Amino acid sequence: MISNDDIKKLGEVLATKEDVKGLATKGQITGLETHMNELARDVVRIEGELKKEIGDVKEQVKQIPTRDELPALFEKSFEFATLKAEHERMKKIIREKLQVEV
């Protein structure tokens, strides 16, 4: 038979009605599970978007001239500017001498 001492020991080990009141119900746990699944889908979607954007940034960085390529790029830019200035000078001479718009 169970004695009063046994009941006291069980009371110390087992949860009482008051102890269980603060715990989540099955419905609350199901709602939480649904919410977590939605969050997981959002994380996967955002991860895909970030991977695409990182890939785009990598491609853009590849197009930036390196330190070794810059002098040649500046040289080409200078040559272009020189040719453009010479072309404008020749147009001016033609316009003045022949009085023709070029």
Alpha carbon distance 60, 1 (integer Å): 81
Segment (H or E) for 98:
helix 70-98
Break the chain into its structural domains and give their ranges: 23-64, 66-102
pLDDT in tens, 38-68: 999 999 999 999 999 999 999 999 999 999 9
**Residue 14, token pair as written in the block:** 């087992």
What Rg value do the Cα atoms of the chain yield, rounded?
40
Tokens 């099955």, located at residue: 26
Whether this model's pTM surpasses 0.85: no
